Structure 1
Amino acid sequence: MRDLIVTQNITVDGVVEAGDWFDPGGGGQDLLDVLTEQAARADGFLTGRVTFEEMRGFWPLQQDDTTGVTAYLNQVHKYVVSTTLRDPGWEPTTILPDLDAVRRIKEEPGTDIVCTGSITLAHGLISAGLVDEYRLFVYPTVVGAGRRLFPDGVPQSLRLTDTRSFDGGITLSIYRRE
């Protein structure tokens, strides 16, 4: 069975909506190295339609990306949960109609499936008990309001398995669902 991993950039107070606080380069080369390591262990990238369309409009157009993100996203198998998307226009991509389809791809052979962003989808995955691991890149800021990672009324029992710190006060906390 493949692990489904939710990776989020998050503030100390749990907000996942990107704002002025989010600076992906703020963690330095060490942070980029960790992201590259994680990408190497994943052969699936899961997203919702809105995030997918935003990414499709940006990443395939990058010419001089030295981070490796463009190369990874162009080759990894992308899964998009959507009932309205008909032509993904960015291969290799499979459109999944619902969370039951996500459950089925977890049963297929392969390595990790990573969901980044897509907070509405992440809420659905969490509520359905489909998330095996959370990788939280915590930024040292408190914004006081915004959408949070964990939906109200869905308790989680988690076990901390690893932590790392990076430049700019960013930390990575990895939790497994128990």
Structure 2
Amino acid sequence: MKKKVLILAGDAVESLEIYYPYFRCLEEGYETTIAAATAKTLHTVVHDFIGWETYSEKAGYLIEANCSFDNVDPADFDALIIPGGRAPEHIRLNDHVPGIVSHFFDANKPIAAVCHASLVLTTVKEHIRNREMTAYIACKPEVEAAGATYVNEPLHTDGNLVSGHAWPDLPGLMKEFIKQVNEATIEV
């Protein structure tokens, strides 16, 4: 049976942080669904590190979200990916997102979170409290305020949660995530 991966996104999702995992999952043979507040064409952004004190942002590619959050049954999926960018700032406000994310923690299913994805995880504090994770350094205060320990490393794995600092860390993040997905058993 084919593994199913859910990606939570929205407008201003970081281009590499959605495209790399999406294509990597397709390459692995996973059935991969991109969900957003509404099923629509999403605008991505390109964040780059060009010598500023923070990253720069430019318009990126378009990508289709083929499912809305209110139509997601997380029990239908084997794993979850939350890309960064600015999308996490607003998708975490959607009433359905905390329940979706909580399911993956409750069921101990693999979760990959990169960069600003940590902002979504702060909506499920009960699941990240006393856990370790990394994220983009600007998210450190939110990670710690939610009760998690911020790890100043490009990649970190704490049980089923695989976290990455930013898009340059995607190869390692996806390697660990795919390992976890492939080792997980599918309940029939």
TM-score, normalised with respect to structure 1: 0.39
Give the structure with higher Rg (CA): 1
Greater RCO, 1 or 2 (C-alpha within 8 Å, sep 6+): 1
TM-score, normalised with respect to structure 2: 0.38
